[in-house]
């Protein structure tokens, strides 16, 4: 503990306050309570915390990006086809195949250890960052302090993540201001929040440290572990399209929520049959303006994907990118072997 504190204090001395103003976010009214709690619960020194926050610059752009549309600007249109087109596209498929070839050994090892298929791991990393191409350039200390202190709808979440950023920096002997990522505080290839880095990330390349910003192997292993610890079931299906019979009470089926709770009996009564080996499902609706709604049965593994991002659109994009990558890889191998 003493060594970690010394390293943190030393690293803080190396951070310039030139761009943050004389007091940065240390002068924010909410900073005092945060500093007091970090002192009491984690043994940080008050002056070190204030020195770090003094280097943090208010990020108005982070607030704008995370906020819902302003009244009068109209709701965001829910469109599955538009959402899918952003993530299941030729750029990601080409990049994913190259990433798969380059890191095949790590992917196979992660699949063996955690039971998560290589293409699903790739689906997460591809949707999140185009395989490391777009990881964000926001200083995380700035973004998280801004959201923790000035975004009331989710202030508790971002205070926890700001707390975890300080803890992560201390545990790694790293300057708390040296992390960059998304406007919401996510880090590296898999876009883990600081709390997830501390809880789920693994040193998968064996170099003695966890680095989700530069180590593809660490990112691969960490995504696989995250999904496994949230209940991924090896070898089970994820989701299947379903044609609803005329007269099905769609609203009642959807009302059960995203977690699989519809059993074989209740679905059979609605005219829907579950595949063999699956006992519970959820009904997923994928809406697009001007087009018929797609319906899918989502199983336990689909629910696990929504633990990464609590959106059925997100989970389905991961699944369909994974499927597209697997099919493209099979096709490329057949071409390489000269198969018809």
pLDDT tens-digit readout, 45-100: 999 999 999 999 999 999 999 998 776 655 578 899 999 999 999 999 999 999 99
Give 203-210's long-range contacts (Cβ < 8 A, gap of 24+): 204/106, 204/109, 204/110, 205/106, 209/172, 210/172
Q: What confidence score (pLDDT) does residue 334 get?
A: 78
Q: What is the pLDDT of residue 69?
A: 77
**Per-residue confidence (pLDDT) for residue 16, from 0 to 100:** 33
Residue 200: what are its φ and ψ, rounded to 5°?
-120, -20
Beta bridge partners of 285: 295
Helix (H, G, I), strand (E, B) or coil at 157: helix
Question: Side by side, which strands form the sheet with 291-298?
Answer: 239-241, 291-298, 280-288, 262-263
- Report CA-CA distances (Å) from 285 to 43, 78, 79, 320: 48, 11, 11, 15
Q: Which tens digits make up the pLDDT trace of 115-146?
A: 999 999 999 999 999 999 999 999 999 999 99
pLDDT given at position 333: 81
Please give the pLDDT value at position 310.
95
* β partners of residue 267: none
Non-local CB neighbours of 248 within 8 Å, separated by 6+ positions: 270, 271, 272
The pLDDT of residue 68 is: 85
Report how far residue 75's alpha carbon sits from residue 72's, in angstroms, rounded to the nearest whole number.
Answer: 9
Q: Using CA atoms, how far apart are residues 232 and 226, in angstroms rounded to an integer?
A: 9
Query: Half-sphere exposure (CA, 13 Å, Cβ side) for 321?
Result: 34
Longest dimension (CA), the chain: 70
Residue tagged 């699944």 (tokens): 319
Query: Which residue in 286, 297, 299 sits closest to 237, CA to CA?
Result: 299
What residue ranges of the chain have pLDDT lower than 50? 1-22
Residue at token pair 């006992």: 279
Q: Distance between CA 261 and CA 126 in Å, rounded?
A: 29
Angle formed by the axes of helices 46-54 and 31-42, nearest 10°: 140
In a domain, 189, yes or no: yes
Question: Which pLDDT score is estimated for 72?
Answer: 60
Give the single-character DSSP code of 187: B
Ordered DSSP codes for 39-103: HHHH---HHHHHHHHHTPPP-HHHHHHHSPPPTTS-PPP--HHHHHHHHSSHHHHHHHHHHHHHT
- 24 within a domain of the structure (yes/no): yes
How many Cβ atoms are within 10 Å of 89's Cβ, its own excluded?
A: 15
Catalytically active residues, by annotation: 128
The enclosing H or E element of 108 equals helix 104-114
Residue at 257 is within a domain: no
**Quick check: is 200 in a domain?**
yes
CATH number at residue 162: 1.10.8.350
Give the count of domains, the chain.
Answer: 1
Q: Does residue 161 belong to any structural domain of this protein?
A: yes
DSSP per residue, 192-240: B-HHHHHHH----S-SSS--TTT-HHHHHHHHHHHHHHTT--TT---EE
Q: Tell me what pLDDT residue 265 has.
A: 94
User: Are 35 and 53 within 8 A, CB to CB?
Assistant: yes
Query: Does residue 118 form part of some domain?
Result: no
Instruction: Tell me the C-alpha distance between 115 and 232, whole Å.
Output: 8
Per the structure, the complete domain to which residue 43 belongs is given by 2-64+136-228
Residue 14: per-residue pLDDT: 36
Structure tokens at 72: 């009068």
Query: Is residue 272 in some structural domain?
Result: no
Is 76 within a domain?
no
């Amino acid at each position: 503990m003493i060594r970690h504190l010394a390293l943190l204090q030393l690293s803080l001395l190396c951070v310039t306050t030139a761009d943050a103003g004389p007091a940065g976010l240390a002068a924010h009214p909410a900073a005092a309570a945060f500093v007091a709690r970090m002192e009491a619960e984690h043994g940080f020194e008050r002056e070190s915390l204030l020195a770090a926050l003094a280097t943090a610059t208010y990020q108005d752009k982070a607030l704008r990006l995370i906020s819902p549309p302003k009244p009068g600007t109209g709701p965001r249109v829910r469109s599955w086809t538009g959402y899918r087109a952003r993530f299941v596209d030729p750029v990601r498929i080409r990049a994913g195949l190259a990433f798969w070839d380059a890191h095949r050994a790590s992917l196979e090892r992660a699949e063996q250890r955690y039971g998560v298929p290589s293409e699903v791991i790739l689906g997460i990393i591809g949707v999140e960052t185009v395989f490391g191409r777009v990881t964000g350039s926001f200083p995380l200390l700035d973004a998280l302090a801004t959201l923790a202190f000035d975004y009331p709808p989710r202030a508790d979440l971002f205070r926890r993540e700001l707390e975890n950023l300080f803890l992560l920096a201390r545990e790694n002997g790293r300057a708390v201001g040296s992390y960059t990522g998304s406007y919401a505080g996510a880090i590296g290839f898999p876009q883990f929040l600081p709390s997830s880095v501390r809880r789920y990330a693994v040193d998968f390349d064996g170099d003695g440290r966890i680095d989700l910003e530069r180590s593809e192997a660490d990112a691969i292993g960490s995504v696989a572990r995250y999904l496994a610890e949230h209940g991924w079931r090896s070898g089970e299906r994820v989701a299947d399209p379903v044609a609803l019979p005329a007269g099905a009470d769609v609203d009642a089926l959807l009302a059960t929520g995203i977690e699989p709770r519809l059993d074989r009996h209740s679905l059979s009564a609605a005219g829907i049959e579950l595949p063999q080996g699956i006992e519970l499902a959820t009904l997923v609706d994928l809406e697009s303006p001007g087009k018929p709604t797609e319906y899918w049965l989502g199983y336990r593994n689909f629910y696990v994907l929504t633990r990464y991002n609590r959106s059925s659109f997100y989970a389905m994009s991961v699944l369909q990118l994974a499927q597209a990558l697997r099919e493209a890889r099979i096709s490329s191998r057949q071409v390489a072997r000269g198969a018809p």
